[in-house]
Copies of this chain bind each other. A is one copy, B any other.
Amino acid sequence: MKIAILGGTGEQGPGLALRLAIAGEEVIIGSRSKERAEAAAAELNKELGGTRIKGLENPQAAAAAEIVMMTVPYSAHLSTLETVKAAVQSKIFVDVSVPLDPENPRRMKMPPAGSATEEAQEFLGPNTKVVAAFQNVAAHLLRDAQHSIDCDILVCGNDAEAKKTVLGLITKMGMQGYDVGTVDSARVVEALTSILIRLNIRHKVKGAGIRLTGLPR
């Protein structure tokens, strides 16, 4: 599948691109600048030994892909959504945003919609299948393809088929995903990140994560 990663030069972007490419998907890194997107793609391709990853501006990346993931900092959430709204209609849109309080990243500052993912679903409209995923996994662990990820991926959204597709990708990327319900579960999934940040600070580590227990794996 062709998968765009908007804001793919930032935190979670390169790791997602790398693991999707290793899983055999065709990846397009999107950025506000085509040059930065291409540079990020070139760096990952060098690591992969190929040309599987491309770089494009966000709107072109979104238009070229079947599935669009977005990993921009929350401050660019709505403005980036605006530039790709037309291109993502009827597609699966995976929101990876975490609305941390810019004045204190240990706290959340949830948008009026309840969560970034709900905001995206409202803004993009009912034709776009918005799914939340990958908020809780540490960027540097995702980026290290040799590292097996000890963090489950909580997936939520209103479209069951879209969630199934995303869960399939997660499996191909070597991680364990769980469907945790409708889009409003994103309030918890996103906010969990602030708890993991607090734990990272307290324990002077970088990769706190979570595993679900008592469930089939």
Contact = CB atoms under 8 A, between A and B. Distances in A.
Interface string A106-147: 111000000000000000000000000000001000000000
A216 B204 CA distance: 10
Interface residues of A, number: 36
B151 A214 contact: yes
A154 interface: yes
Interface in A28-59: none
Given A187-B191, A198-B185, A213 B151 contact: yes
B150 A213 contact: yes
Interface string A164-190: 000000000000001111001101110
Main secondary structure, interface of A, reads mixed
The count of identical subunits is 2
A108 B154 CA distance: 18
Nearest to A185: B195
Interface of A: 106-108, 138, 150-151, 154, 178-181, 184-185, 187-189, 191-192, 194-195, 198-199, 202-203, 205-216
Given A208-B212, A209-B214, 17 more contacts: A108-B187, A138-B214, A150-B213, A151-B213, A179-B202, A188-B192, A189-B195, A191-B191, A199-B212, A205-B214, A207-B213, A208-B213, A208-B214, A208-B215, A210-B210, A210-B211, A210-B212
